[in-house]
């Protein structure tokens, strides 16, 4: 039995500010390539890890254009809802969303904790899924825990949650090593950079990364969008396949704008840190502090100006709020 995995397609009609191309056309082309890969590899099913749409109320004309591509896929598509597919991150809103319409019309089939049992070429598979919700990565969450039916060869669990191979932020994620599951393969979307294929306690964990690159983070610029092909035979084989028609990151993402923004942000953060670290400044006014730090640190004039402008804005707001 063969499956193709893709995730986080973020279908939208407009182009994100950091993209240099026509995002919609590029994505339509990528999804056509995914269909061709599914055909050429002879897969039996396609799994989508959620965030099919960038927003729950994507324009009908845009949805129509993508339906035309998806309904030409040679095999069924199973999916879980991502946070972007839902209103207020709430799975109960699904029927009112564009993903809900695709589910109702049979273009895609939803997965839940109630297993679906599939069989192809003498291999049986239990398929479960979990939509995004606020508690998915909370401490003690059972979102990634699945029991495997004794009768099946393999179990796959698909989750739109922040599953990571190593700690990244302070909280709000689940580590692979903390997942207690009987599923042979746990597939996650949501974390756009992906972690590829990992194994832990003889279980597989997979996140091929988002099919789209909507931020101009340097890691995104370097990343090539991929799908994964899972082959379930005597053993499990998983390979990652970069999309041939995905362009080089620097062709579609505007690095220059983000570099400038990062530089400004970093300078401002340094600035605030300096202020906080300096006990001498306690009795001075904010303007004086800024000027002193600026002089001491030999900061560019534009950074000082920006800080002063923001300070003025903040004071204006505070002034109004106080009345």
Q: Which stretch binds Mn ion (CB under 5 A): 48-56, 104-112, 143-151, 287-295?
A: 48-56
Q: Check residue 51 for interaction with Mn ion (CB under 5 A).
A: yes
* Residues in binding contact with Mn ion, number by CB under 5 A: 2
- Rule CB under 5 A: say whether 220 interacts with Mn ion: no
Instruction: Output the smallest distance, CB 30 to Mn ion, in A.
Output: 15
Q: How far apart are CA 127 and CA 224, in angstroms?
A: 28
Residue 188: phi and psi, rounded to 5, are -125, 145
Residue nearest to Mn ion (CB): 51
Smallest gap from residue 10 Cβ to Mn ion (A): 6
Tell me the window of 45-53, 125-133, 214-222, 254-262 that interacts with Mn ion (CB under 5 A). 45-53
Measured distance CA(1)–CA(124) in Å, rounded: 8
d(CA 220, CA 233): 33
Q: How far is the CB of 11 from Mn ion (least distance, A)?
A: 11
CA-nearest of 202, 175, 201, 197 to 187 is 197
CB closer to Mn ion out of 44 and 54: 54
Length of the chain: 323
Query: Smaller CB distance to Mn ion: residue 148 or 192?
Result: 192
Pick 94 or 289: Cβ nearer Mn ion: 94
Cα gap 69→35, rounded to integer Å:
8
62, 13 contact by CB (below 8 A):
yes
Please report how close the Cβ of residue 210 comes to Mn ion at its closest, in angstroms: 6
- We find the least distance from the C-beta atom of residue 281 to Mn ion, in angstroms, to be 42
Among 1, 4, 8, 179, binds Mn ion (CB under 5 A): 8
Task: Tell me the CA distances in angstroms from 237 to 120, 178, 184, 197, 204, one per residue in order.
Answer: 16, 23, 11, 10, 10
Q: Which is nearer to Mn ion, 51 or 217 (CB)?
A: 51
Kindly give the pairing relationship between strand 163-164 and strand 236-242: unpaired
| 127 vs 210 by CB, closer to Mn ion | 210
Closest approach, Cβ 51 to Mn ion, in A, equals 4
DSSP 251-313: HHB-HHHHHHHHHHHHHHHHHHHHHHH-GGGGGS-HHHHHHHHHHHHT--HHHHHHHHHHHHH
| Choices 27-35, 49-57, 107-115, 277-285; region in contact with Mn ion by CB under 5 A | 49-57
CB of residue 190 to Mn ion, shortest distance in Å: 6
- Which CB atom, from 205 or from 271, has the smaller least distance to Mn ion? 205
Binding site for Mn ion (CB under 5 A): 8, 51
């Amino acid at each position: 039995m063969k499956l193709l995995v893709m995730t986080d397609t973020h279908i939208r009609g407009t182009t994100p500010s950091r993209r240099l191309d026509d995002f919609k056309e590029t994505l339509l082309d990528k999804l056509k390539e995914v269909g061709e890969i599914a055909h050429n590899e002879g897969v039996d099913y396609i799994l989508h890890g959620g965030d099919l749409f960038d927003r729950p109320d994507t324009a009908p004309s845009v949805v129509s254009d993508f339906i035309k591509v998806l309904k030409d896929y040679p095999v069924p598509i199973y999916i879980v809802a991502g946070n972007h597919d839902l209103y207020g991150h709430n799975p109960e809103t699904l029927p009112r969303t564009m993903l809900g319409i695709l589910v109702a019309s049979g273009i895609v089939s939803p997965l839940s904790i109630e297993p679906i049992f599939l069989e192809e070429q003498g291999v049986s598979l239990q398929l479960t899924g979990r939509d995004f919700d606020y508690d998915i990565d909370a401490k003690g969450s059972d979102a990634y825990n699945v029991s495997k039916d004794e009768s099946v060869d393999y179990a796959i669990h698909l989750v739109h949650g922040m599953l990571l191979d190593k700690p990244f932020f302070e909280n709000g994620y689940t580590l692979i090593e903390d997942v207690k599951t009987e599923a042979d393969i746990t597939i996650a979307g949501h974390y756009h950079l992906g972690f590829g294929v990992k194994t832990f306690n003889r279980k597989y964990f997979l996140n091929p990364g988002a099919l789209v690159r909507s931020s101009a983070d340097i890691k995104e610029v370097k990343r090539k969008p991929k799908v994964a092909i899972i082959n379930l035979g005597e053993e499990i084989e998983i390979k990652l396949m970069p999309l041939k028609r995905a362009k080089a990151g620097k062709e579609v993402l505007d690095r220059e704008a983000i570099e400038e923004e990062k530089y400004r942000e970093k300078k401002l953060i340094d600035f605030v840190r300096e202020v906080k670290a300096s006990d001498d400044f306690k009795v001075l006014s904010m303007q004086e502090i800024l000027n002193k730090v600026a002089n001491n640190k030999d900061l560019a004039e534009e950074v000082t100006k920006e800080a002063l402008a923001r300070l003025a804005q903040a004071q204006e707001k505070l002034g109004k709020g106080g009345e």
